[in-house]
Amino acid sequence: MMIAEMASRLMLVAPWPLLAAGVVVGVGADRHPRLMRAATTGAAWFALACAILAAVAYGLGATGSETYLSLHLPARLGALAVSVDADVLTIIMLTLVAFVGMIVARYSKTYMDGDEHEGRFHRWLALTLGSFLTLIVAGNVWGFWVSWVATSLCLHELLALYRDRPGAECHPLQHRDSLPLWEA
């Protein structure tokens, strides 16, 4: 593999283990929390390693855009393409998000230990992080949009993990008591 292609390929594969961990391993997430925790943490480390190696490859001269698959859409809507743009901003964002994702995965390994929803938490963390990394490296508007929607849906599930807690899904405007004094 040439250096010029190396950065974009590393950026392309960085989110794959996270998405695979969330989809495949995450099916029985609450039944196998240790497996889900190990898969998410390992995939987060892999994403960080890919981001660092892509940064090194970019520093050695790997620039440009790579398109790996392109499906033409009807009615002049363009093409849904799997493409990656290797530029400074993308490399920095990929490395930053992969680093923060690895820290969150590592921290939650001990913080969530023994929680009844630990497996589900790690599943949605893996899917959110994988979707967000895909969003960062998307080199196409349609790919960006699909990744944006996936990130939003996965993040919602992650934030609404404890739906059974009082006030977890309560909108503040539904209760007059929760309004600030100047609006009551």
Encode the chain (184 residues) as per-residue pLDDT tens digits. Answer: 566 678 888 888 999 999 999 998 877 888 888 889 999 999 999 999 999 999 998 888 877 677 777 777 777 777 777 778 888 899 999 999 999 999 999 999 888 888 888 888 999 999 999 999 999 998 888 889 999 999 999 999 888 888 776 655 555 555 555 555 555 4
Calpha distance 175→155 (Å, rounded)? 25
52 contacts 95 by C-beta, under 8 angstroms? yes
pTM of the predicted model as reported, rounded to 2 decimal places = 0.82
pLDDT digits (tens, 9 = 90+) for 54-94: 999 888 887 767 777 777 777 777 777 777 888 889 999 99
pLDDT at 169: 57
- Sign of the Cα torsion 139, 140, 141, 145 reads negative
pLDDT at 87: 86
* DSSP strands (E only) in the chain: 64-72, 79-86
Calpha distance 15→102 (Å, rounded)? 12
21 contacts 36 by C-beta, under 8 angstroms? yes
Region of residue 78 (left: phi > 0; alpha: psi -120 to 50; beta: else): left
90-101 CB burial, b ≥16 within 10 A, e <16: bbebbbebbeeb
pLDDT digits (tens, 9 = 90+) for 32-45: 888 899 999 999 99
**Coil, strand or helix: which one is 64?**
strand
